A and B are shown apart, each in its own frame.
Chain A
Amino acid sequence: MGSPLGLVADTIPFSCVDGPGNRFVVFLQGCNFDCRACHNPQTILLQSPHARTVTVEELVDEIRGPAPFLSGVTVSGGEATLQTPFLVELFAALKRDPDLGRLTTLVDTNGSAPPATWDTLAPVMDGAMVDLKCLDPARHLELTHAEVEPVLASIRHLAAIGRLHEVRLLVVPGVNDDPPLVERTAAWLHGVDPAMAVKVIGFRRHGARAAAQAWPEGTTADVEAVVAVLRAAGLSRLATV
């Protein structure tokens, strides 16, 4: 059996917004959500003329140059877990490399993958950053064209196996930040793990498609209002973007 190939939309050698420290980020092509707020809409389609096919070895070599400057590698998307076999091989290759083994391996995910996928990744993945677009099932469907329940299951399962790096809440003012909803979200997250890290991110129009251009951007005040609710619910590891 040959090594799996990855379909990569892009890579960036340095990023300070995709997990702790300075990170190499791999954006895989293809997503099973269709979020209105997506800031990388060109990565949603499962195929793209701009994406390239790479082997694990090629990608590892690409990481080797900037490695001295990095805390780790984050695989984002698209939805990284749609290419789980490649992801497992990539992380395993990094972990066994004498020079790269110190790099932490994170996945930036929409949380749609089933628990079995996380179990497969767990031995080589240090953690997952899960986006929760909205706790409310109907509104989640509206915002992402996908069900929320698998996302919640992922958060629960990752927390249980010690692989939940953080949950990310996107704040679109007037769309998913009404106080009762945020309070329910806070209570649910706290119920899963009171020590959970949560990052609250204000919506930005930059990169998003026309359908989201009418939405207001999340200001510092909007984000802080959500943080205050989370804090009141007993969550303490809170960060904002």
Chain B
Amino acid sequence: MDIHELRAEVRRVVNDPTLTYQQRRHRLAGLAEEALEYPPLSDAAREALDKRIVCDMFEGPAPYRPRYVLPDYERAVHQGSAFLELEAPRDLDEALAFLLMLYSQVPSITGYPVYVGDLDKVLAPFVNGVSDDDLYRKLRLLWLSLDRMFPDAFLHTDFGPDDSRVTRTILRLERELQQVVPNCTMKVDPDRTPDDLVLDGVRTVFACGQPHFVNHPMMVADHGEGYAAVSCYNSLKIGGGSHTLVRLNLKEVVLRHTGDLESFFGSTLPTYVELTAEVIEARVRHLVEEARFFEHSWLVHEGLVDLSRFSAMFGIFGLAEAVDLLMERDGREGTYGHSSEADALSYRLTQTVADLVAVRPMPYCDGGGGRCYLHSQSGIDSDVGVTAGTRIPVGAEPGLYEHLRTVAPHHRLFASGVSDVLSMDDTATRNPQAMVDIIRGALREGMRDVTFNLDSNEFVRVTGYLVRKSDLARAAEGTRHGSDQLAAGAEANTHMTQRAVKRVISQEMAATDPRRVGG
């Protein structure tokens, strides 16, 4: 944008009555970055970016901090911090204060930390001898602080796979406080996580939409024990993270393809995968070589993150539309989620992208073995007419079993996260064990991430983060959480509040459900 446009844009932000001071400042920083030129790209990559076939998530043209940073908080509380001039905490009060101070210094794309630690593990050294009541009161203050100091639903904590008092207290606080911050993930290991803990998690989802459930053994196989799910559905290495996230719009790739199915897989798709990789590489090089984050950050100096544990995320989205268009062009009937032929084509598509990404070297990505992490990207507020990641389109989801069966085979490919939001109706609350069965089954069948929502509660899961319906309604007037405004845009464009609600049941025997589309 030229200087006049920039000035007009800056003026708009400065005068915007719906933004808080912090929100204005964050946007102004983004505009300053917009004034810089993009890292060098080929004409073809530039064009793909301009036409939004390849999308850089509006991260800005001059990345100066990694998109997602996962400091090793266990190490931090063990060693203290020279930068923060803090000794290692000696008790729970000191640990919680230490962490809050540390969080305020963690960079990310949102301006707020996207990861605040696996708190059950980080706090484990400090909770012995602390009564249940004290633990509850102290964690409650932490929870209030997180939501008020870092009002952003991408802030994320993890717990599990083992049970702990901290985890139980967090679940209780989640149910009681009804906050959208933090986003939560429970790590579930079929051999280690007790049913009773998963059940407590399910009851918490019924109350407030948290937590997500992830497949711990699958994550460990991909990342090692030191991983966490952060922001929404981004599984990355602790002590590392992701430099950037660039995503490829598979629908747009198909729209630009002329020719048969084989030339799509043999030529068009590989071309766009490479253009996406080119954009990623340019951004990674800028961050590491030009902005030199890893030379300057105190988190690096103190060993809380290390370049060797970073990679970059290669995202895809619009699989559903891509598959349906390819089926139509191929003269075949059937749509994704409703036809085994379409589903087979979808698996071929994601496998092909995975194979291409697996052979494309990427600099400064040792965390991923010198390759990008593949990611099924869950959408942003501006997406119109294109479905998030590898999801089945909103409103066209089949029955729950068919839904799970369709999406599960994709999950193993997406080491850095994949998501399918299952919308349940109220009858599910009467039998939480049924949801435990479904979660356990989904993990057994190779799903990496399991998220479900109760259709009737106050929360709606947007792309992966939560927003309160009442805040969504008020977003035009401004809200305390920056994520609410993204959510308002996403709702207007993607109608995620109209997800087909799962009736896990039918007391009656209606063989046909008017909400099912296709068959």
Contact with A along B147-188 (1 / 0, CB 8 A): 000000000000000000000000000000000000000000
Query: Bound complex: CA of A206 vs CA of B427, how far in Å?
Result: 15
Asked if A42 and B399 make an inter-chain contact with CB atoms under 8 angstroms apart, the answer reads no
Chain A residues near B506 (CB-CB < 8 A): 12, 15
Known contacts A14-B400, A68-B444: does B508 contact A40 (CB below 8 Å)?
A: yes
Query: Digit string of A13-34 for contact with B (CB within 8 Å is 1, else 0)?
Result: 1111110111100010000000
Check B430–A14 contact: CB distance below 8 A.
no
Partner of A69 from the list B401, B510, B511 (CB cut-off 8 Å) is B401
Within A66-101, the residues touching B (CB, 8 Å) are 66, 68-71
Candidate in A18, A20, A69 with the most chain B CB atoms within 10 angstroms:
A69
A183 at the interface (CB under 8 A from B): no
Does A185 reach chain B (CB closer than 8 Å)? no
B343 to chain A minimum Cβ distance, whole angstroms, is 14
Across the interface, A21 reaches (CB within 8 A) one of B434, B444, B510, B511, namely B434
Which size bracket describes the interface of B in this complex? 20 to 34
- Tell me the smallest distance from the CB of A134 to a CB of chain B, in Å: 20
Bin chain A's interface residue count: 20 to 34
Please, which residues of chain B bring their CB within 8 A of the CB of A174?
none
Cross-chain contact A13 with B434 (CB below 8 angstroms)? no
A71 touches B507 (CB 8 A): no
Q: Flag B102-145 by CB within 8 Å of A: 1 or 0 each.
A: 00000000000000000000000000000000000000000000
Q: Which of A13, A22, A27, A39 has the most CB of B within 10 A?
A: A22
**Does B508 lie within 8 Å of A20, measured CB to CB?**
no
B258 beta carbon closer than 8 Å to chain A: no
A109 at the interface (CB under 8 A from B): no
A207–B427 alpha-carbon span in the complex (Å):
17
Distance to closest chain B CB from A168 (angstroms):
12
Instruction: Say if the beta carbon of A241 comes within 8 Å of chain B.
Output: yes
Residues from chain A with a CB closer than 8 A to the CB of B508 are 39-40, 206-207
Provide the residues of chain B in CB contact with A12, threshold 8 Å: 505-506, 509
Contacts of A15 in B (CB 8 A): 434, 504-506
- Interface set, chain B 408-444, CB cutoff 8 A to A: 427-428, 430-431, 433-438, 440-442, 444
Tell whether A21 pairs with B433 under 8 Å between CB atoms, given A14-B399, A40-B508: yes
In angstroms, Cα B444 to Cα A16, docked, is 19
- Which residues of the other chain, B, contact A9 by a CB distance below 8 angstroms? 509
Closest to B400 in A: A14
Q: How far is the CB of A42 from chain B (nearest CB, A)?
A: 7
Tell me which residues across on chain A come within 8 A of B516, comparing CB atoms: none
Do A16 and B509 touch across chains, with their CB atoms under 8 A apart? no
B405 in contact (CB, < 8 A): yes
Determine how close the nearest CB of chain A comes to the CB of B150; give it in whole angstroms: 36
Q: Which residue of A lies closest to B444 (CB)?
A: A68
Residue contact B433 to A14, C-beta cutoff 8 Å: no
- Contact across chains for B505 and A71 when beta carbons are under 8 A apart: no
A69 with B509, Cβ < 8 A, contacts A14-B401, A14-B504, A21-B433 known: no
Q: Which of chain A's residues have a CB closer than 8 A to the CB of B434?
A: 14-16, 21-23, 71
Q: Does B238 contact A (CB under 8 A)?
A: no
A-B pair number, CB within 8 angstroms: 85
Name the interface residues of A32-59: CB closer than 8 Å to any CB of B: 39-40, 42-43
Q: In the assembled complex, which residues on chain A have CB atoms less than 8 Å from the CB atom of B431? A: 16-17, 20-22
Q: Is B93 an interface residue (CB 8 A)?
A: no
In the complex, which residue of chain B has the Cβ closest to the Cβ of A240? B430
B404 at interface by CB-CB < 8 Å? yes
Residue of B nearest to A12 (CB): B506
* Set of chain B residues within 8 Å of A222, measured between Cβ atoms: none
B442 CB, min distance to chain A CBs, angstroms? 7
Q: List the B residue with the shortest CB-CB distance to A76.
A: B509
- B433's nearest neighbour on chain A, judged by CB, is A21
In the complex, whether B445 has a CB less than 8 A from a CB of chain A is yes
Q: Is A180 an interface residue (CB 8 A)?
A: no
Also in contact, A68 and B441, with CB within 8 A (given A13-B401, A14-B504, A15-B504): yes
B279 to chain A, nearest CB (A): 39
Residues of chain B within 8 A (CB-CB) of A18 are 505
Q: Give which listed residue, A40, A69, A204, A241, contacts B438 with CB less than 8 A.
A: A69
- CB of B490 to closest CB in A, whole Å: 29
Cα–Cα distance between A57 and B436 once the two chains are bound (Å): 28
A24 — nearest CB in chain B belongs to which residue?
B401
The answer to the question of A65 belonging to the interface, with a C-beta cut-off of 8 Å to chain B, is: yes
B504 touches A22 (CB 8 A): yes
Contact of B505 among A16, A40, A43, A207 (CB under 8 A): A16
Distance A42 CA – B510 CA, assembled complex (angstroms): 10
Residues of B within 8 Å of A27, CB to CB, are: 509
**Interface pair A22/B509, CB less than 8 Å apart:** no
Select one of B437, B505, B510 contacting A70, CB under 8 A.
B437
Minimal Cβ-Cβ distance residue in A for B430? A241
- Given A15-B504, A16-B428, A68-B444, also A21-B509 (CB < 8 A): no
Instruction: Say whether A71 contacts B509, CB under 8 Å.
Output: no
Does A136 interact with chain B (Cβ within 8 Å)?
A: no
A13 to B506, CA, bound (A): 10
Give chain B residues whose Cβ lies under 8 Å from the Cβ of A70: 437, 441
B401 touches A16 (CB 8 A): no
Q: Which of B435, B441, B507, B510 has the most CB of A within 10 A?
A: B507
Within 8 A of B (CB), among A188-241: 204, 206-207, 241
Q: Are B401 and A66 in contact (CB under 8 A)?
A: yes
Q: How far is the CA of A206 from the CA of B509 in the complex (A)?
A: 11
Taken together as a complex, chains A and B put the C-alpha atoms of A21 and B510 apart, in Å, by 21
Which residues of A are found within 8 Å of B444, using beta-carbon distances? 68
Known: A13-B401, A66-B401. A42 touches B507 (CB 8 A): no
Q: Tell me the complex Cα distance, A174–B184, Å.
A: 47
Q: Chain B: residues with CB nearer than 8 A to chain A?
A: 399-401, 404-405, 427-428, 430-431, 433-438, 440-442, 444-445, 504-511
* 29 pairs, CB–CB < 8 Å, chain A vs chain B: A9-B509, A10-B511, A12-B505, A12-B509, A14-B438, A15-B504, A16-B428, A16-B504, A17-B430, A17-B507, A20-B433, A21-B433, A21-B436, A22-B431, A22-B437, A23-B434, A39-B507, A39-B508, A40-B509, A43-B509, A65-B401, A68-B444, A69-B401, A69-B440, A69-B445, A206-B508, A207-B508, A207-B509, A207-B510
List 16 additional A-B contacts (Cβ < 8 Å) besides A16-B505, A20-B431.
A10-B511, A12-B506, A13-B399, A14-B399, A14-B401, A14-B434, A14-B504, A17-B431, A17-B507, A20-B433, A21-B433, A39-B507, A69-B441, A69-B445, A207-B508, A207-B510
